[in-house]
Structure 1
Amino acid sequence: MPDILLPGAAPERVGLEFVTGGFTMPVALASPDDGTGRLFVADLPGVIRVIDAGVNEPFLDITGRVVDLRTGYDERGLLGLAFHPKFRENGRFFVYYSAPLRDGAPEGWDHTSRVSEFAVSTPNRADPGSERMILEVDQPQANHNGGSIAFGPDGYLYIPLGDGGGANDVGRGHPPGGNGQDIETLLGKILRIDVDGEKPYGIPADNPFVGREGRDEIYAYGLRNPWRTAFDAGGEHRLFAADAGQYLWESVKIIVPGGNHGWNLREGNHAFDPGNPRESPADAPRTGRRGEPLIDAIIEYPNANQPGGIGAVVIGGYVYRGRAIPALVGRYVFGEWNRAGTDGDGIIFSATEDPGGQWDFTEVEVAGSRTVGAYVLAFGEDAKHELYVLTAEERGPVGETGRVYRLVPA
């Protein structure tokens, strides 16, 4: 595994330019390709605000449709926001949120994850009555919800889903072998659907499991909790996913169509034993239960539960394609929720591709303070491909400490 700080190298440095604050837990930032340059930020309790010329305005409020959140810590809420590629013409956008458990869901399960379409009524206001439910997935536990929906370069909507929650991908709502490895469930997967075809959605004809065993919606599987996924705006437009680990290993994966990304046979690139999750078995499996190859993670680091561990939860980011910070161009910028041994001090990393295997990565120093000084919740990208980091000082959805910063030259 590469060192957190490459030997003999100084860390990269960036500045964090304050953009706006007053959020509870900002977890998604998106900018439609409509020529306005506006930024939209989704706040976990259920509000989307539009940021235009430094003015924050409510764009959509669905707090009454989101499950009641636990203020101490909660992974549920309004988790994703994606604008239709033709938003300028059709005013359509999509959200992913945690709704109360729907009628007919398995008894004793926790909530229902919902992907819905909305439409705008004015440029800076959405019509809350325009909701059209696209997809609902029942969740046995409260955690591991994924949610960072995005349109790919092919125009299809990609939906990351965690394994259903709990721990080790076992227990109520988890079949033998786990949801991550079960291709007959949508949990633990990345889905790919056509929101412009049949209602409520269509299946792209080239989805990997069309015409064979497995759910047609599945694009890739073997994920634990893909917390923030994003397409590279340049290059081959690859899809990056940070997969939050269990006890020992945090990892980042490049998603392969039809690929098995390992969970719960592996945690990162290490073998995983659900019966003894705090110790990695010596030999990591190379194939899944159907003989298919397991896809290696490109980045892996030890969790804070290990001696010398770096942090608690990996936070997915973006390949930098902006112009403001030339030293980062082509590098994958991602983060860590909270540095080991601290209480609310996330980390920003940059990673350099190694075509032969594991990517090298290093900490990005924040000019002036050297550290972020708050929990890192997510990253965002604007229409010019400049990057933003979303933070909060609280562990759970309480207060108004959530902030948005733009990455700028040091």
Structure 2
Amino acid sequence: MARITAILVSALVLLALAGVAGAGVHPGGGTDLTENATVPAADLTNAGSPYAAEYQNGTSTTPLAGETFNVSLEPVVEGLVAPLMLTDAGDDSGRLFVVDQVGTVSIIAPNGTLVEEPFLDVRDRMADLNPTFDERGLLSIAFHPEFGENGRVFVFYTAPLREEAPDGWDSTNCLSAFRVDPTNPDRVNMTSEEILIEIDKPQPTHNGGSIGFNPRDGYLYVPLGDGGGAGDSGTGHTPEIGNAQDLTNIYGSVLRIDVENATRTAAGTLYGIPSDNPFVENTSVPPEVYAYGFRNPAFISFDDAGNLFVADAGQNLFEEVSLVVSGGNYGWRLREGTHCFDLFDFQTPPMACEAVGHLGEPLVGPIIEGGRDLGDVIVGGRVYNGTALPELSGRYVFGYWSDGFIPGDVILLAATPPPGWNASAFPDSAANLTAGDVAMWSVQRLNVTPTGEAFLLGFGEDEESELYVLTTGVAGPDPSTATGRVWKVVPGNAAAPFRA
């Protein structure tokens, strides 16, 4: 079992990484940090883009394009608590699987009914959740690309703090593998758990957690927050620079692992490291790290070409979505979105700051940036590839959780790529990025048929790539409530409300 904890170092230790032997491009495609520290970097931050969020008098606003589309939310199932994610198993069974934060995964049968017994239940091994609000819990599942043959499913959830963790920390996130019961395809064998990684958390927030397999390379991607708390600072955070800019730990990063070939690495017996991960030749950096510089990359998804979209929750002003590539530094806490960040004044971005990281590497800005005028935190998000809503084809659909701890109308948005955008030609390494590659997308607000007051929690898609949204009526994972619902996004005015 691989157990990963924070390595707290000073900025001087991090800067010493620039003296690592070797130069140029690693055989696997990652860029050497020494070269990045000495060669002027292109400005990839998107600062000043007409599509960037605007700041004035302590507030941030989202520039919206004029066009919009009508969509309706068609009710699918209700009676859940806090549904965060919906997916299919890729096995042509027609089943849909709903992740509920309280610790269960439920099946929606092909006939549209909710199967009574859960597919998976980790409530007996989870940390106790705060029912009024909590970012911990069962956060996601990912079905192995060959699930129909091997029955493997991967799960990311929050367990109580393990004994080996630092004193006074909050909890331990677990990435685990399970196998389906061979006698019942609708149930996981709960005794089959294999814990791949344990990630100790100093604070309860910023867990990341929406794991997924990339359809292009077959590897498992695991987004991790910066450890929690405000400003990437305090207990459990690297002094002076924060965890997300400290490459000697795994916080504030997206990890990339090989769940098939464990013998390829000494990282552990249950997974391996892809040979083209960007930092495999640098012994000071955990080899799992694929990209870094994130605050709370709570939502990841892939388009059909395998491009990785990461929705990252901001601090006080700016929300963002980035196209993430190998070796990229996505800016936190040097920047919050496209804007400069001041650790001592969250409400006032500095007028100027560097466009590069501590080692001279370019900071990669988001392709989508939103202000707080639409809500408190971004909820990502999928590139739509279905057929029911052709006007949304190729657009990234996302939303906002809520405006304060008060439920409201579900806010959905669609981001349109720049003219000439070619998903199949997007670079796979930060060394090859240009400003044009990461140019910002325009954002339109969708006209959504009213659904009543709700909190938007997540998105999902089925075997036909049709889009779903997940909502709840209360702010926290309160098991005494059953206000969680699954909705299908359909053409405007096509839906009917739930019957009483």
TM-score (ref. length: structure 1): 0.95
Q: Is the Cα contact below 8 Å between 2:379 and 2:401 reproduced in 1?
A: yes
Kindly tell me: are residues 206 and 372 of structure 1, through their superposed partners in 2, closer, same or farther at Cα, counting changes over 3 Å? farther
1:41 alignment counterpart:
98
Aligned to 2:326: 257
Separation of aligned partners in 2, 1:272 and 1:23: 38
Answer whether contact 2:212 2:220 (CA < 8 A) is retained: yes
**Structure 2: how far apart are the matches of 1:402 and 1:51?**
14
Supply the AA of the counterpart residue of 1:299.
Answer: I
Aligned position for 1:334: 398
1:54 to 108, 112, 115: 112
1:228 aligns with 2:299: yes
Contact 2:180 2:189 in 1 (8 A): yes
Structure 2 equivalent of residue 129 of structure 1: 191
Question: Could you say which residue in structure 2 is the equivalent of 1:157?
Answer: 220
1:273 equivalent in alignment to 2:355? no
Cα displacement (A) at 1:372: 6.5
List gaps (5 residues or longer) in structure 2: 1-49, 52-61, 263-268, 422-435, 493-500
For residue 218 of structure 1, the aligned residue among 264, 289, 293 is 289
Q: Distance in 2 between matches of 1:108 and 1:181?
A: 23
Q: How many residues align?
A: 399
The partner residue of 1:116 within 160, 176, 194 is 176
Q: Given that residues 244 and 293 in structure 2 are in contact (C-alpha distance below 8 angstroms), is that contact kept between their aligned partners in structure 1?
A: yes
2:98–2:105 Cα contact (<8 Å) kept: yes
1:404 and 2:475 aligned? no
Instruction: Give 2:317's aligned residue.
Output: 248
Q: Does 1:389 align with 2:469?
A: yes
Take 2:471 and 2:445, find their aligned partners in 1: how far apart are those partners? 17
1:174 aligned onto 2:237: yes
Question: Which amino acid in 2 is paired with 1:107?
Answer: D
For residues 5-20 of structure 1, what are the structure 2 equivalents within 5 Å? 5-7=64-66, 9=67, 11-20=68-77
CA-to-aligned-CA distance 1:364-406 (integer Å, 9 cap, x gap): 1113x2x673111110111111111011110001111111101
Distance 1:342 1:148 in 2: 24
| Residue in structure 2 matching 1:203, options 256, 266, 273 | 273
2:460 to 355, 380, 403: 380
Matches within 5 A, 1:304-323: 309-323=373-387
Output the CA distance in 1 between the equivalents of 2:277 and 2:242.
Answer: 22
8 Å CA contact retained: 2:84, 2:139: yes
Amino acid at match of 2:441: W
Provide, for residues 21-79 of structure 1, a one-character-per-residue CA deviation record: whole Å limited to 9, x for no partner.
Answer: 11110011111111112100110010010111222221111101110000110000000
Q: Which residue among 75, 82, 93 is the counterpart of 1:25?
A: 82
Give the C-alpha shift of residue 409 in structure 1: 1.0
SS in 1 for 2:246: coil
| Identity across the alignment (%) | 49
Match of 1:183 among 220, 224, 247: 247
Q: Secondary structure at the match of 2:180?
A: strand
Conservation of the 8 A alpha-carbon contact between 1:344 and 1:394: no
Mean Cα displacement is larger for which, 40-49 or 357-366? 357-366
Looking at structure 1, the residues matched to 459 and 453 of structure 2 have their Cα atoms a distance apart, in angstroms, of: 15
How much is the aligned-residue C-alpha RMSD, in angstroms?
1.4
Counterpart-to-counterpart distance in 2, 1:4 and 1:403: 30
C-alpha distance in 1, partners of 2:403/2:238? 34
Query: How far apart, in 2, do the equivalents of 1:346 and 1:266 lie?
Result: 29
1:278 positional shift? 1.5
Report what 1:306 is aligned to: none
What amino acid is aligned across from residue 174 of structure 1 in structure 2?
H
- 2:426 corresponds to which residue? none
Query: 1:135-160 CA distances to partner (integer Å, 9 max, x unpaired)?
Result: 11100000000100000121111000
Letter in 1 for 2:399: G
Cα contact 2:81–2:100 (8 A) shared by 1: yes
Which TM-score applies when normalising by structure 2?
Answer: 0.78
Cα shift at 1:259: 0.2
Give 1:286's aligned residue.
355
Give the match for residue 350 of structure 1. Answer: 414
**Residue in 2 that maps onto 1:361:** 443
The one-letter code of the counterpart of 2:252 is G
| Separation (CA, whole Å) in 1 of partners of 2:369 and 2:247 | 25
Structure-2 separation of matches of 1:51 and 1:84: 19
Residue aligned with 2:446, SS: strand
Aligned pairs (5 A) from 1:75-154: 75-121=135-181, 122-153=184-215, 154=217
Give the Å deviation of 1:284: 3.8
Secondary structure at the counterpart of residue 114 of structure 2: strand
Write the letter of the residue equivalent to 2:202: P
1:283 shift after superposition: 1.2
* Bigger-Rg structure (1/2): 2
Partner-residue secondary structure (3-state), 2:149: helix
| CA–CA separation in structure 2 for the residues paired with 1:24 and 1:48 | 11
3-state DSSP class of the match of 1:88?
helix
Give secondary structure in 1 for the equivalent of 2:286. Answer: coil
Partner of 2:15: none
Matched AA of 2:135 = E
Distance 2:129 2:285 in 1: 33
Contact 1:249 1:268 in 2 (8 A): yes
1:341 positional shift: 9.8
Higher helix share: 2
Deviates more, 1:186-195 or 1:48-57: 48-57
Q: Is the 8 A contact 2:410 2:448 kept in 1?
A: no
